[in-house]
Amino acid sequence: MANKLSFEEKYDVIVRRDTTYAGIFFVGVKTTGIFCRPGCTARTPKAKNVSFYDTSHEAIVNGFRPCKVCRPLDELGATPDYIQKILDELEAHPYRRLKDWDLRQRGVEPSQIRRWFKKHHNMTFQAYQRLYRINGAFTKISNGESITHTAYDIGFESISGFNDSFKSTFDHSPSQEKGKTVIHLVRFTTPIGPMFGGATATGVCLTEFTDRPMLETEFKDLKKRLNAVILPGENDHLQQLQQELAEYFEGKRKLFTVPLHTPGSAFSQSVWQLLQTIPFGSTRTYKEQAEKLGKPKAIRAVGRANGLNKIAILIPCHRVLGSNGELVGYGGGMGRKKWLLDHERKHSLGT
């Protein structure tokens, strides 16, 4: 296993503002007396003026106070209370349409919620609401309700407006909706960054950190392979996923039981199934994985299949190392890979 990051490597992380190391270590700035997360957008301090700490507690003990920009004591990637209240309202009344005036009546500035949704969901709040309503429409039509009744029931003022919104989401009209799969998508927080979870009626098909560079590509691949549309919303599998991941990060869970839905080639399927046999707290090399598959020369192919895994942590590709035991190749970022391995090693020993 690779040693801990050097001072130079950590400083390079904060210069690049690499959010994949958020929660992995903290940065104390001697000239200001504050400490930050690695991805903080505040002005980058000079190397001679920083100290690094593994925990926020260590930074506080050494006399640093939390940064007001990145707020390192807050839950990483947490949804602000004022936005969570709005989301709870939409969940209770999915067909309610909240306009700027409605938001102001609730003490929420529309520009604030717009910026938050654009940053964390890559869409405006109004687009999120529209998708949430379309999600309900899909369910109603799938259950046999008429298009006209559904359109007016969920708040559209005309059939043509409903048809246009439906078609822009599903790439076809409501009358052609049969056969489409819905992937429900939720955003949730973890100690090492926010994640997206996606699930069909069959099982979980996606768990990824929200800053993964290939996330859009994964969404497109899932939609193509499953003839699906991705919409915000919950289902039983996603609720179980969040519960089991919370227990994992608390060190209370070593095995996952939530059903999975993993479309892919036969070879990729075999690689992903083998990944799930690597015990909690253990690692293997790509070479060992290839040998266990009976394909000792397929090391690179195994590596590519690992990279195509869309269900991080549950299908534990972070437990695979390079030939010399070095940390290589993790879509969530090398800092997170090391954190996950250290976390599992610690809890496998019962410490």
Instruction: Tell me the catalytic residues.
Output: 317
* Beta-carbon count within 10 A of 104 CB: 11
- 118, 198, 311, 344 from 222: Cα distances, Å: 22, 10, 12, 29
Angstrom distance (rounded) from CA 274 to CA 319? 11
Q: Which value, in Å, is the radius of gyration of the alpha carbons in the chain?
A: 22
Q: What are the two backbone dihedrals, phi and then psi, of residue 71, each rounded to the nearest 5 degrees? A: 50, 70
Q: Burial-class residue 28 by CB neighbours within 10 Å (0-12, 13-18, 19+).
A: buried
Angstrom distance (rounded) from CA 159 to CA 295? 56
- 93, 154, 266, 328 from 136: Cα distances, Å: 11, 8, 34, 42
Angstrom distance (rounded) from CA 125 to CA 100? 10
Separation of first and last alpha carbons in the chain: 19
Q: Residue 314: name the closest of 242, 224, 266 by CA.
A: 242
DSSP secondary-structure letter at 205? E
DSSP string, 299-324: HHHHHHHHHT--BTTTS-GGGEE-TT
Tell me if 173 sits within 8 A of 221, measured CB to CB: no
Residue with token string 């266990």 = 292
Q: What is the dihedral of CA 211, 217, 221, 223, to 10 degrees?
A: 70
Angstrom distance (rounded) from CA 210 to CA 17? 15
Q: Residue 84: name the closest of 181, 158, 189, 185 by CA.
A: 189
